[in-house]
Amino acid sequence: MECHHIKVYTGGKISIPLDFRNKMHIQDGDELLVTFDHDKIVISTYDILLDKAQNLVRKNIKQRHLTQELQDLRTKESDELK
């Protein structure tokens, strides 16, 4: 784990160290998500959170065939309308 000493400025502003910004591809003007997790402040980019969510969905969907499920659902709904 990398650590940096930073200072809190007026209004609660902090500066994220350059090497962290580079590793996370943070540019001026980017919006970040800040969460409080027990005793830690966690800063994430929305791109990183999106990647994590997509990987989670991919991992959990591998066992399912969504196209077939959708076709089966449409067939069932069509049969119910007859």
Provide the pLDDT for residue 41: 94
Model confidence over 41-68: pLDDT tens digits? 999 999 999 999 988 888 877 666 777 8
Q: What is the DSSP string of 4-44?
A: -----BGGGB----HHHHHHTT--TT--EEEEEETTEEEEE
Structural domain boundaries in the chain: 10-81
Judge contact between 33 and 44, C-beta under 8 A: yes
Q: Which of 24-28, 72-76, 77-81 is the least confident region?
A: 77-81
Provide the pLDDT for residue 64: 67
Whole-number Å distance between alpha carbons of 38 and 71: 45
